[in-house]
Structures are given as C-alpha cells and as structure tokens.
Structure 1
Amino acid sequence: MKRIPLRSQRGMTMLMVLILMTVMLLGALALARMTEASYLITGNVASKDASVHAAEVGWNTAFTAVKALASENDDNGGWYFATTQPVDANGIPAINWDGTPTVAGGVERYTVNYAVDRLCTIGEITVASRECLVKLASTTDAEDMSANPLDYQPKNSRQFRITVRVTDQRGTQTWTQALVNR
C-alpha cells in the first residue's frame, strides 16, 4: 500500500461536501418558506370566507329593515338614504360608516355595519321609470300598463343597494353589495 503525502492532497472531497451541504440547506429553507406561505394563504382564505358569511347576516338585517320602511322618500337614521349616494373609486358609498347600525348576534369576531340607498336621483318620485333604477316590466305586466308607458311602474320595482362592511379583529375590512326590491 502506497501512502500519499499530506502535501499532495488538495481537499477536493471536502469542497464538494460543503457545496452539496449548502445546496441541501437552501432547499430545506425554501421548502420551509413555502410551507409557511401556504399556511398563511389558507388562513387568509378562511378568514375572507367567514367574513362573507358574516356579511350575509348584514344583508338579511338590512333587507328586513328596508321592507319595514314607513317612507321610501325620507332618509332614516344614518342607514337609509332616499337617493343614490356618491361612491368612491371602489363603488363604496361615501357615507359616515361609524353612524351606520351594527348587526348584533351571530357574527362572532366580526363587526358588521350596513347602509341602504335607493337607486334614485331624487327623493320624491313622480315618474319612477325615469328617475330610479327599476325592475323591467315582464310581458305579463304589459296588460296592466296605462296609456302612457313611462308612467307605468311594476309593483315593488324600485331597486335598493345594500352595502355591508365587515371588519374583523385585525381591522381587515370586507365590503359586499346586493341589489334588492322592496
């Protein structure tokens, strides 16, 4: 057996092992990072889904309040507006959301506020088909039309926009909207 002097060994094996260890360490770090990101994404999706379910409680409460309105022509308590409200770039009505009602019960961990605006350009309605967003008359309603079709208004035809804001404990907000007829 021939011995190789230590001076002639160059440490090539050691260098290869260090390179392979570095590659394996980087791979393990990338895998850990992907796993962490997937848990965060899953949590965010679950939170968003739960906030949309909480918004449904707001829609139902607002719709019940719209059906109980005494007068569609008058604003009511900071939550109902007889005319279409101006909106921001995201389509959210520009109103004081701190003055809107908060839905109580059934929405743990979330604060649910709602507002309703009638999709009309004026408060007092004279010709509803021209001043409001209305449901179109079906062919069965056509026989009920008066001599002037512009004066015709199907029953429960005016549209209302319900906007619901859901805020979670972290301050994240989810906004939803629905159009309803009274």
Structure 2
Amino acid sequence: MAEGSEGKLQLVHRHIRAFPDFPKKGILFRDICPILKSPAALTAVIDLFEERVRSHHLQVDLIVGLDARGFLFGPLLAQRLGVGFVLVRKKGKLPGPTTCVKYDLEYGTAEAETQEDAVAPGQKVLIIDDLLATGGTLYAACELMKKQQAQIQGCMVIIELKDLNGADRLKPHSVFSLLQY
C-alpha cells in the first residue's frame, strides 16, 4: 500500500473497539461504530475500498450490500464508483417479487433475499459487508447473485476474523479485508 493508504488503514484500525464477552462469554466483538462517528475514519474506509476496486476490478456494475452494515458502506462506495447499489435483506423485508436462499447459522438456519429485478444476468457485482466471520451471510449473498446469473467479482469487508476460516467457505470468490484479526 502507498504511504497514504497505510495511514488510512491505521486510522481505521484505531476506530475499531473490542468488547470481550459480547454477545456471549468467550466472544471478542469488534465494533465498527466509532468508524461511523468519525468522518475521517469513514472516508478512509471508502477510500481504501475504492482504491482496491479501481486497481483490481476494472468493471463493476453494482455494489451488493448485506443487511444491515453492508448498507452503511456499500452506497458510499457505489456513489464513488458511479454504479448502482443492491440490497440483500433478511426474508420478508423487501417488497415485490424476491429471490431467496436459505443458509446455515450457528444455531439454525436463516433466509436472505433480494428483489428479482435487482440484478440483470451478466452484471458484474461486488459484495460488501462489515465483517467476515464464518462466512454464512456472505455465502448466502453469493448464492443469491448466482441465482440471478450475476458475475461475482469478489467480496469486501472491513474486518476478517481469520481463525474462523470464512474466506474458505466463499471460494472460488476472492475476499478483500482491510483488517484481519
């Protein structure tokens, strides 16, 4: 990374808080809320994502953001790139005809959906969220995009929890993370 990029990455890192034993004992929760409170840190996140897209993905038609924190960063990146933004939501939250996939959670299953007309076949999409842990939600988003015959250019997150091996679940799709723990 260029010197400016390294400084931005350090700024982002300083704006992530760790909360031990949340939401339950034994979990170290990485909180991105301080990033949202800091215009400089938020700008740094979007700058770093934009730099990555422009240097590695020559053409992206849509940014796909996951419910709910992908909604915070995805539209800002989409606006910078001059492309559209698409929502992936929990089942029952979108109007009109939708496409849905079920996926596994730690304690059961869930469903994610997007509107049927959100992505046209062949469109190049980049999927964004705040965090990659086990990869379940990002995997569901990839499956939704496959159902809509999109070309998945990769996934982007602010934080990747490497010990949980979520990136392995997403193969063959690439994962770019700003910070790894």
Asked whether the two chains share a fold, i.e. TM above 0.5, the reply is no
TM-score relative to the length of structure 1? 0.22
Which has more strand, going by share of residues? 2
Instruction: Return the structure number with greater relative CO, CA threshold 8 A, min gap 6.
Output: 1
TM-score relative to the length of structure 2? 0.22
Which has the greater radius of gyration?
1
